[in-house]
Structure 1
């Protein structure tokens, strides 16, 4: 079996598993009385999504592991500062749904930061290169680095616009004092993401992963669906 065929099989398997989990969650939350079961299993979904991203990544190297570690460390650091000082994101608090916490922040938030940063980075990189080939344009390497990082950070904020209402509905976290999501949250998301996206662009690892694009789309559809229809 060729390397190309192997990864096509990996993409299909990962896509099937991801669709199964997200569709099951949509059906369970919208059409059954077992809301708590699906909400309580959110940590499992986060872990599986991360594992599928790593499973479908071609040629894992030290640079990818460095990015993985940096996302987890930076994500948890952002959140610990935010929860304990209010200097980042705003005034909010995590529930117990997402499991074990360190300084008030679920450890699994690091996983979420990595998966999100990886997916938006891959999406931006692949769409940009498709446009580059289609329209045959070239820009300087320096400008390209800035462009890719900034666009990816905006995409991360775009995803968070739909994630936040769902997180509140499912009681992952709550905002104080009135439950409203502050604009400052999105500002911090942008700059926090921007730092990690510069790292994504600069580090030398394979940035072709169709499954990461599929996962981004699946999660976006999930967040929009739950945001609109879950009561």
Structure 2
């Protein structure tokens, strides 16, 4: 089997698994009496999504591992600062749904930050390359570097706009004092993501992961379905 066919097979398998879990979640949460079961298994979905990113990534190298560790550690640190000081994101608190916590922050949040940063970075990179090839865009390397990072951060904020109301509905975390999501949260998400997107663009690993684009879209569709139908 040729190398390209191997990755096509991996992409198809990963997309199928991701759709299976997310569509099951959409049906289970919105249209059955087993909501608690699906909420309690949210950590499993997060772990599987991350493992599928690893499975479909081409040529895992040192730079990829550095990016993985940086996102995981930075994500947890961002949240620890936010939870314990209010200096980032605002005044909020995590429930016990996502498992073991360090200083009030579920360790799995590092997983979520990595998967999100990888997906938005890969999405932006591939979209930019398509636009460049289709419309013959010509930007200097320096401008290109900033454009990719900034749009990657915006893509992360867009996904968080869908995630936040879902997290409140499913009691992953809650905002205080009135349960309203502060604009400051999205500002912090942008700048926190921007730092990691600069690292993504700078990192020397393959960024052409088509599964990452599908995962971003699947997660967005999942969040939107909960916003519309969950009661």
TM-score by length of 1: 0.99
Work out whether 1:53 is the aligned partner of 2:53. yes
2:28 alignment partner in structure 1: 28
Cα deviation, 1:173-209, whole Å, max 9, x if unaligned, reads 0000000000000000000000000000001100000
Q: How many residues in Structure 1 have an aligned counterpart in Structure 2?
A: 231
Q: Does 1:76 align with 2:76?
A: yes
Once residues 31 and 144 of structure 2 are traced to their aligned partners in structure 1, the CA distance between those partners, rounded to angstroms, is 46
Aligned to 1:156: 156
Displacement after TM superposition at 1:137 (Å): 1.9
Structure 1 residue 138, shift from structure 2 partner = 1.1
Query: Which residue of structure 2 lines up, in the alignment, with residue 166 of structure 1?
Result: 166
Q: Distance in 2 between matches of 1:139 and 1:5?
A: 32
Q: TM-score, normalised by structure 2?
A: 0.99
Give CA-to-partner distance per residue, 1:33-67, whole Å, 9 cap, x none: 00000000000000000000010000010000000
Aligned to 1:189: 189
CA-to-aligned-CA distance 1:151-187 (integer Å, 9 cap, x gap): 0101100110000000000000000000000000000
How big is each residue's C-alpha offset from its partner over 1:115-144, in whole Å with a ceiling of 9 and x where there is no partner?
A: 000000000000000000001121110100
Tell me how far 1:92 sits from its aligned partner. Answer: 0.1
> Whole-Å Cα distance in 2 between the matches of residues 87 and 185 of structure 1?
10
- Confirm or deny that 1:205 pairs with 2:211: no
TM-superposed deviation, 1:31: 1.1
Q: Matches of 1:191 and 1:110 in 2, distance apart?
A: 17
Moved over 4 A (4+): none
Alignment root-mean-square deviation, CA: 0.4
Q: Which runs of 5+ in 2 are unaligned?
A: none
- Match runs of 1:98-177 below 5 Å: 98-177=98-177
Runs of 5+ consecutive residues of structure 1 not aligned to the other structure: none
